[in-house]
Structure 1
């Protein structure tokens, strides 16, 4: 079978079914059967597809990588899809497709107000999903700005002496929350060396034994997203698997 053949039946794959080539799509869905179905179809159509089971898993993934579009189930465990969509919309230019069994006009209006670009109702039609992704990719490509280059972290990014304000290379400032302040103080003090999760957690809470480490990942992701939204620059915090975090160039 050649690369242009349909791996489902051996027939030549029509060009229209490769319309998602090069598109990176992350699907956040806690139903494993539906998730597998969507991933299989998206990959078949040429997308680089990845599955995630919760909002927390999405936030952790965004610490390491970026995607073009998130397909987001509303009924997620923990933080629901509406809250995630609202956060992603504030954070940057990721496309958002909301997927839900709630098909009323009120639910649709709420989803679009929270930040969804496309609102699809279950049971899912995979052809409609693919068409929505293609349309959204065209809109994002036309609207996406050119980002300024990332500068050296230690020379360009500055933390105020009291730790409550972060200053970007372009001298833009961002007021920090108490937890964000604690994380950045440790990272700046480390001067380019990794800081363990345990040390970061001890800095931001009086009860580290009762603090879910996943909350740290969410905190760092949201901090980076706030910085990106406020300055147009990426705050160069790198997550190190099994170690912690590093502020680096």
Structure 2
């Protein structure tokens, strides 16, 4: 997420995308973006055109020359000439501010599907199945036996993956928390119950049947087999 508007970036778009299942890095300038890209691979860049150190169209040219990464331009410039320039320059999508976070998320998923990146990455099993439910580890989606899909946050994904790998077995709160913190260091260990509560509500609100995660008194949680 390359956006110089601190409030829009850090208080709205980044938290919303994380809640919708994306792993997001934030940058306020083109230089910061280039430094992050040198540290590791990313699948997509949401790129503002009006950056403080480099024009977004110029940054787009550099991205196209150096890496095969999806690029979504996000800008206040609504003119057709700018849209044509961005799309002809290699952008996968062009969105005009203000944009709803859900629209941005849907756009990112669409361009990643077109580029075959939705399940890219780990060559090991990317789907866990238990009791008729399936968990897409790369797509961060839980699918009920009736086919209803729920998009997960990173913490929710890690929680369910741990439980679904050992259906029927109780896992302690400490073990679940350690598993999440190992991959999500900023996770607050005291939020585990909140994550479970929120996940149950999310699944029910999404029209799926009740989530088969049981609370085990004085121990933790288990996936009902």
- 2:29 alignment partner in structure 1: 54
Task: Tell me, yes or no, if the aligned pair for 1:73 and 1:99 is still in contact at 8 Å.
Answer: yes
Provide the rounded CA distance (Å) in 2 between the counterparts of 1:143 and 1:53.
26
Q: Distance in 2 between matches of 1:143 and 1:129?
A: 15
Q: Which one of the candidate residues 113, 116, 137 is aligned to 2:88?
A: 113
Q: Output the aligned Cα RMSD.
A: 2.1
Please name the residue that 1:136 is paired with.
111
Distance 1:92 1:144 in 2: 19
For 1:71-86, list aligned pairs within 5 A: 71-86=46-61
Spell out structure 1 runs of 4+ moving beyond 3 A: 142-145
C-alpha distance after superposition, 1:72-95 (max 9, x if no partner): 000001111100111111212100
1:44 Cα shift? 0.2
TM superposition shift of 1:63: 1.3
Give 1:143 deviation, angstroms: 11
Partner of 1:14: none
1:90 is the counterpart of 2:47:
no
Q: Give the structure 2 partner of residue 41 of structure 1.
A: 16
Q: Counterpart of 1:52 in 2: which secondary structure?
A: coil
Give a deviation string over 1:92-135, Cα, whole Å, max 9, x none: 21000001111111110011122211100011121211110010
Where do residues 1-249 of structure 1 align in structure 2 (5 Å cutoff)?
27-36=1-10, 37-141=12-116
Count of aligned residue pairs for this structure pair: 120
Q: CA 1:65/1:102 → structure 2, altered by over 3 Å: closer, same or farther?
A: same
Q: 1:33 to 1:141 in 2, by over 3 A?
A: same
Q: Secondary structure at the match of 1:71?
A: strand
- How far apart in 1 are the matches of 2:73 and 2:117? 21
Whole-angstrom CA distance in 1 between matches of 2:54 and 2:111: 25
Q: Is the 8 A contact 1:30 1:76 kept in 2?
A: yes
Q: Is the 8 A contact 1:93 1:144 kept in 2?
A: no
